[in-house]
Chain A
């Protein structure tokens, strides 16, 4: 019996689907995702939509922080820029949602260049502080620039319409989220297995060695900033249109931490990790709500919910860093490795 997973050509290492089994599983996943709205309740559809949007944002952050090693605490700012670009264009200028989706990505990407290009000189802690300062500046400007953002009143958004279909229920919006998230995952996966992805990882592991090896550090760092913040912009756009309302409070600094928690929980530098981490972190508030319902204190819980969430995120970050630094994706690889050689676990 053939035991183990053998790769005999370099192309095998780079393949999108690395084994025949992966093909089968992917087929099942697609069927499951398409069948999902037929069986899901409204609540479940809502949870999955929020998680799907988080996946898009987490993919972006993981590309910059996990793969390229450029720590960013400014992700909330890019989400906000994407969300507000779409909201302002849709609500104040009557541009359809479908056009604003790429524009939101572009706007956030350009903002990423704005912060990324001057940051080429900075590394490590200094970059953390710069991106954090950027997050605060953006949050502050959104709350103050009455004429553009309507400040605290927020902006209400009409539901997206395409071909006579109004995407106004959780079940219908699911299709938008599904398509965008799938495209995002595919793009990230492709980026990771090509020359660009290897260049980014080389920069993370040792930038001097990467440069000696012929990687144009500046170009790839800027690219990582652009792509990462574009992802965030698209996620912000999806989020704002899903809630049909946007407000500066949605994009506080805590949101950056939430996304950091996602990629740490999921696994740094891994596409699968972004997906798993985003799902995990999106389920935390729902789990807390369930727990509160079981304990019977719904009213007390609503007072504590924000604190409990922050506590859970903090504990999750600390716990994973101390006990499972590879994240859920690492755990998944371990399990895979175990079954690959079953029953000969050597």
Chain B
């Protein structure tokens, strides 16, 4: 940080805004989780790894083949969507009606497979992803913010708005909402439940890829980057596992909380707070309000 003009307030605002930028990535990944969970009732532990595969495709197109960024991103989104569909048809379809344990474990196995396949094919070195936007800092009032962070935030909000409109005003969106509420009733009303499932997986993988490309801009491209999926669970739990708005709010909140804790508490206890905060949030939320801020309260009829 250069210049004497950085005040206490400046640091605070900066931590909050850069937290929001990271939180926006969390929100996008969380959105992918929610989409699949709402439609199919499956919590996809391989979400982060679908994201990672999408990012590697994008990296391959942009860096190795030299294709311009936007077409490459489009192709990567399409590839991720296809992969999502494929996973749904080949692995998840046969598991309909199986206990939750089996389905969860299946996605965990899938995550292991995707990660090791990419590791075998591309190696484990950390690669730099060329930032899609010039990463010059922007002065914002008393704080200095990275441009990429603002773009991420913008993209997340855009995706959110897009999804809310999609769910509310399109036929397909209506079908997805109906399927989420009651699969049998939706099927009886003539909604292709299988198609809705496939679509949810495709869209979810594509959204994750958008998040992954922004994430790659601030970190590295690496087969283990899918572990961000696990760091998104706090956001998911905080927001409520079946709420689109909850995913966004939870993601942003966790990003900010993590950043503030890292910024203020790390000095006191000597590092490591940032990584642990999110998981502490999980434990706290699960004990106090297991259905999250916006989630549906689980009521069991006997």
Known contacts A132-B233, A311-B113, A322-B95; A317/B276 CB under 8 A: no
The reply on A124 being an interface residue by CB < 8 A is yes
**Which B92-131 residues sit within 8 Å CB-CB of chain A?**
94-95, 98, 100-102, 104-106, 108-117, 119-120
B35: chain A residues within 8 A (beta carbon): none
Bound-state Cα–Cα, A71 to B91, Å: 21
10 residue pairs, one from A and one from B, having the closest CB atoms: A317-B109, A314-B112, A314-B113, A311-B116, A310-B116, A133-B279, A307-B119, A307-B116, A318-B109, A314-B109
14 intermolecular pairs with C-beta atoms under 8 Å apart: A125-B43, A128-B104, A129-B237, A133-B282, A268-B101, A307-B116, A309-B116, A310-B113, A311-B117, A314-B110, A317-B112, A318-B106, A321-B95, A322-B94
Quick one: closest B residue to A124, CB to CB? B100
Please report the number of residue pairs spanning A and B whose Cβ atoms sit closer than 8 angstroms: 114
Chain A residue numbers with a CB within 8 Å of B287 are 118, 121
Cβ 8 A contact of B91, one of A128, A134, A322: A322
The binding surface of chain B is classed by DSSP as helix
Question: A307 to chain B: which residues have CB within 8 Å?
Answer: 116-117, 119-120
The one of A118, A129, A144 in contact with B271, judged by C-beta atoms closer than 8 angstroms, is: A144
B279 touches A125 (CB 8 A): no
By the criterion CB–CB under 8 Å, are B109 and A321 in contact? yes
A130 at the interface (CB under 8 A from B): yes
Contacts of B302 in A (CB 8 A): 208
Asked if A260 is an interface residue, CB under 8 A from chain B, the answer is yes
Bound-state Cα–Cα, A227 to B276, Å: 27
Give the one of B95, B104, B271 with max A CB within 10 A.
Answer: B104
Which residue among A73, A124, A133, A254 has the maximum number of chain B CB atoms within 10 Å of its CB? Answer: A133
Q: Which of A291-331 contact B (CB under 8 A)?
A: 304, 306-311, 313-318, 321-322, 325
Contact pick for B108, options A130, A133, A260, A268, CB 8 Å: A260
Least Cβ distance of A267 to chain B in Å? 13
A70, chain B: closest CB distance, angstroms? 10
Please list the residues of chain A having a beta carbon within 8 angstroms of any beta carbon in chain B.
65, 69, 71, 73, 118, 121-122, 124-126, 128-130, 132-134, 136-137, 140, 144, 208, 253-254, 257, 260-261, 264, 268, 304, 306-311, 313-318, 321-322, 325
Tell yes or no: B218 within 8 A of A by CB. no
Given contacts A121-B287, A325-B102, contact A136 B279 (CB under 8 A): yes
Instruction: Check B282–A129 contact: CB distance below 8 A.
Output: yes
Q: How many B residues touch A, CB cutoff 8 Å?
A: 41
Q: Which residues of A contact B91 (CB under 8 A)?
A: 318, 322
State whether A260 touches B120 (Cβ < 8 A). Answer: no
Judge whether B113 and A318 touch: CB under 8 Å.
yes
User: Quick one: which of B43, B113, B280 has the most chain A CB within 10 A?
Assistant: B113
Which residue among B271, B283, B290, B300 has the maximum number of chain A CB atoms within 10 Å of its CB?
B283
| Most chain A CB neighbours (cut-off 10 Å) among B94, B105, B237, B287 | B105
Q: Is the CB of B112 within 8 A of A129?
A: no
Q: Which residues of A contact B101 (CB under 8 A)?
A: 65, 69, 71, 268
Is the beta-carbon distance between B282 and A321 smaller than 8 angstroms? no
Q: Are B272 and A140 within 8 A (Cβ)?
A: yes
Shortest Cβ distance from A132 into B: residue: B230
Chain A residues within 8 Å of B102, by CB: 321, 325
The CA of A144 and the CA of B276, in the complex, are separated in Å by 11
Return the contact of B104 from the options A125, A208, A318 (Cβ within 8 A).
A125
The residue on B at minimum CB distance from A260 is B105
B63: CB under 8 A from chain A? no
B184 within 8 A of A: no
Q: Which residue of A lies closest to B234 (CB)?
A: A133
